[in-house]
Amino acid sequence: MTKKNPDKGYVAILGWSLNAINAIENFDRRYIIVAPQWAEDYARENGIPFITWDFERLNESSMEIAEKLKEEGVDVAIPLFEETVEWAGAINAVLLKNPRLMNQSMLFRDKALMKRRAQLGGIRVGIFEEANDKTDVIRFLRRVNQALLKLDGDPDDPIHLKAFDKAGCLGHRVVRTPDDVDNIPEEEFPALMESHLDGWEFAVEAFIKDRKIHFLNISEYVTLGYSVFVPATPDLEKWRPQVVAEIEKLIETFDIDFGFIHPEYFVTSDGKMYFGEVAYRPPGFNAFELIERAYGFNAYQAMVMMFDPKTTDEEIKAFFPREVVDAKGHAGCFGVYPRRRVINELRIPEETENDPYFEFHELQSPMQNKVPKRSAFGTHWGLVYFFGDDPYRMRDLLKAQEDLDYYI
């Protein structure tokens, strides 16, 4: 749709996301989508440049896609999903003649490796260990709580269990008691265990080019796995200088020349920042859409600029607004999960519908009456979007949604 600029780079997008493709179609870079076969017909019918690739098949033929893209004249590959991050690393190692990129991407894909590298770089992380089975989890739970000087009968501090290589909240469990451990299916092992940090968790979206941060957004989590909004409250924004310093440490430690990163941090009550994890791809929970709503620029386009080796400094300066002050308001979203076990219909709670901050929802009417038990974070049924001026009101409003029934 938008006229393509031949002086700019040619990018390959790894993964299929209509919102991303829509954004890039309306940007001046030439692009090609690399995605699985099931998307091919749709791409052809709609004139979307497309190469079929099966990302689950990681083997010797991996060079093939890199060579194919090189022949096509592609300058750089951009991952959309966790599963395509190492593919992007491997492909960019070839396209940009920089084998280091492959190794770097492996760090992003393995949460345990990632934590160790961070620790080596002098970044503060919580206590963590790899677990191979349930006994490891029980041992870790006990040890963490002994270290916290809990007596028998005191409620234990929880620990967190995360899959090594899954995005965001997928496979993220909170374990409070040995009984919880029984509910973990065997196939979730091995996994990463972390101590629980009683603090304030938040995420950062950082756009990086030439090892410099060009735009940094802080996303405030109201409740992990339920709700997030941007920009954050002043209470959290006051940590921005420290956050910038931490991101710069990440850039050094992980040797990040360009691209987009999405790390998560904790600030504890004594003001220390702990690194949680970092992803080299757009965040889940539609944070890009929230950024666009708040700031008016398209974060997918911004990401393309960061990856494109032919992007100029002037272009970047002209593209990004000023952080926080240029935001038109605060945009938030809430992931709905039915609170009842048996439901009949979708009904937006009246107080939500009448709230001036409520924008719209993407919920669908239920297909079945029985609600499956929620086993981990991140399995919401759809998002509800809010927008308004006051970040504190936004925070309280998102919190209040947790006590409302959307499905009755």
Partner 1 sequence: MNLNVEPAAADKQTQLLQEKLESAIGRLERASLFAKLNFQTQVLELAGRMILLPGGVQQLYALAPRLDDAGLFYGTDWAEPGALLPRLVNNTLEQGSDPLVMLECMSELRLLAIANGEYSHEGVSVEQARHFLTQVLALNLNHLFGTANEALRTRLGKLGDGIQALFQYLLDHIGFDNILGSLIDEIWRILAQRPIQVGGVKTMVTQIALTLAQGVGDIGEARLGSDRLISSLFGPTQGCIDDPGLDAYYARLEAMDFPTLQQEAYGFSRAMHDVGLVSDYHAGYLRWLLQNDQSQLIPDALGLSSTGLDVLRTYQNLIHKLIEEVIYAQTAQTVYGLAMLLERGILYAPPIAPGLWRQLNLPLSEQTESALMAAYGDAVTPRVRLLSGVISLLGQPLGVGQGNNPTCQSARAISMWSYNDPDFLMHLIAQAARFDNIQMNFEGQPINSAELAAGLASNIPLDTDPVSIVLVPHLDRVYNAMGQACVGRGEDPHRWINPEFHGWWVGREFYIAVDVASGKLKNDYVSYLEQFYRSYHPLYNGNQPVIHPQPAGIAVTDSNAQFVGWHAIALLRVGLDQNDVMRVYFYNPNNDSGQNWGDDVVVSTHGFGERFGEASLPFPELASRLYIFHDDPIQVQTDIIELPKEELDHVQDMALKSWAAERQPAEV
- Cβ 1 to partner 1 shortest distance, Å: 5
CB 336 to partner 1: min, Å: 14
- Integer Cα distance of 278 and 251 in angstroms: 11
| Position 344 contacts partner 1 (CB under 8 A) | no
Using CB under 8 A, which of the segments 5-13, 40-48, 163-171, 254-262 binds partner 1?
40-48
Query: Angle 287-295/299-307 helices, nearest 10 degrees?
Result: 100
Judged by CB under 8 A, the chain residues 166 through 195 that form the site for partner 1 are none
CA atoms of 212 and 53, how far apart (whole Å)? 32
**Contact (CB, 8 A) for 279 and 262:** yes
The residue type at 214 = H
Could you say whether residue 229 binds partner 1 (CB under 8 A)? no
Contact region with partner 1 (CB under 8 A), list: 57-65, 160-168, 231-239, 356-364 = 356-364
Interface stretch with partner 1, choices 13-21, 61-69, 147-155, 220-228 (CB under 8 A): 13-21
Q: What angle do CA 213, 27, 280 make, to 5 degrees?
A: 40
Gap between the Cα atoms of 265 and 278, Å rounded: 9
Interface pattern 386-405 for partner 1 (x via CB under 8 A): -x------------------
Which of the ranges 58-66, 152-160, 333-341, 358-366 carries the binding residues for partner 1, by CB under 8 A? 358-366
Distance of closest approach, residue 48 Cβ to partner 1, in angstroms: 6
**Cβ closest to partner 1, residue 1 vs residue 151:** 1
Query: Binding of partner 1 at residue 22 (CB under 8 A)?
Result: yes
Q: Is 46 in the site for partner 1 (CB under 8 A)?
A: yes
Smaller CB separation from partner 1, 46 or 183: 46
Pinpoint the alpha helices (H) of 121-275: 134-147, 178-182, 234-237, 240-253
Burial 217-228 (b: 16+ CB within 10 A, else e): bbbbbbebbbbb
The single residue among 11, 14, 21, 167 that binds partner 1, judged by CB under 8 A, is 21
Tokens of residue 279, six digits: 């992803």
Q: Is 33 in the site for partner 1 (CB under 8 A)?
A: no
- How many angstroms separate the CA atoms of 346 and 352, rounded? 13
Min separation Cβ 352 and partner 1, Å: 11
HSE at residue 159, side-chain half, CA atoms within 13 A, is: 30
Q: Rule CB under 8 A: choose which of 1, 120, 149, 325 binds partner 1.
A: 1
Q: 266-295: which residues touch partner 1 (CB under 8 A)?
A: 293
Per the CB < 8 A criterion, the answer to whether 259 and 189 are in contact is no
Residue 213 to residues 50, 105, 114, 216, 376, Cα–Cα distance (Å): 31, 19, 20, 7, 33
The reply to whether 32 sits near partner 1 by the rule CB under 8 A is: no
User: Contact positions toward partner 1, by CB under 8 A?
Assistant: 1, 18-19, 21-22, 25-26, 42, 46-48, 293, 347, 353-354, 356, 359-362, 365, 387
